[in-house]
Chain A
């Protein structure tokens, strides 16, 4: 198994542009999580899905952020419009139980 696959690994964009981050979870995992990591706030849970259905999006910082999971093998996190304060590393993780969390390699987003 290739693990949790995130793309792109690095993204540099200008303020105001739309950014889409992608994640392919491990096959058979029914939970998918999006986290954001910054120096100031650490690892924050943004949203998670169970069987493709969003369960808790209370961590999504603003309406500019949205996430979808159209099928069991793909999820996106979109920021529109992006702002410099959105610069962070965004991690996707999947599991069939919190005991079995597997993280992707992350996407480092820089908004200039």
Chain B
């Protein structure tokens, strides 16, 4: 059974601090996706990582992929309140036709 595990599930951060969210998965997929969900809202695509060693950055968020370790990280630099949301990672199912999501990491940034 395909598994996607995120940790931590909840993260309370202070503004200005750095932290990392981890996503482990059990498939041999070369693609990994990060989504953001604001409370009561839909999911918004953040990053698509397409190969081993891929790194993508936007603003204070940076995502990386290590397919050999089956691990992706989402690094947050100098957190600000606007980053408070739930972050999901996802991988392709075995057929490569649908996404399987982790349970999400709920990030709360306070001053």
Interfacial chain A residues near B95, Cβ < 8 Å = 55-56
Asked if B99 and A101 make an inter-chain contact with CB atoms under 8 angstroms apart, the answer reads: yes
**A104-B31 contact in complex given A42-B101, A48-B97, A98-B96, C-beta closer than 8 Å:** no
**Complex CA distance for A56 and B98, rounded to whole angstroms:** 10
The A-contacting residues of B in range 25-51, CB under 8 angstroms, are 31, 33, 41-45, 48
Bound together, the chains give a CA A105 to CA B41 distance in angstroms of 6
Residues of B within 8 A of A98 (CB): 31, 33, 92, 96-99
CB closest residue in chain B, given A40: B103
Contacts of B88 in A (CB 8 A): 42-43
Residues in A27-47 with C-beta less than 8 Å from chain B: 31, 33, 35, 41-43, 45
Within 8 A of A (CB), among B68-111: 88, 92-93, 95-104
- State in angstroms the CA–CA spacing of A63 and B31 once bound together: 33
Q: Which residues of A contact B98 (CB under 8 A)?
A: 31, 33, 45, 48, 56, 98
Q: Are A31 and B97 interface neighbours, CB within 8 A?
A: yes
Contact of A2 with B by CB under 8 A? no
Interface size on A, residues (CB 8 A): 19
For A101, list chain B residues within 8 Å (CB): 33, 45, 99
CB distance from B97 to the nearest CB of A (A): 7
A residues apposed to B, CB below 8 Å: 31, 33, 35, 41-43, 45, 48, 50, 55-56, 91, 98-99, 101, 103-106
Would you give 14 A-B contacts (Cβ < 8 Å), ordered by A? Answer: A31-B97, A33-B99, A42-B101, A43-B101, A43-B104, A45-B93, A45-B100, A55-B95, A56-B93, A98-B92, A98-B98, A101-B99, A103-B42, A105-B41
A-B complex: 7 closest residue pairs judged by Cβ atoms = A42-B103, A43-B101, A103-B42, A103-B43, A105-B42, A48-B98, A99-B48
Besides A35-B101, A48-B98, A50-B97, 16 more A-B contacts (Cβ < 8 Å) are A31-B98, A33-B98, A33-B99, A42-B101, A42-B102, A45-B99, A48-B97, A55-B97, A56-B93, A56-B98, A98-B31, A98-B33, A98-B98, A98-B99, A104-B42, A106-B42
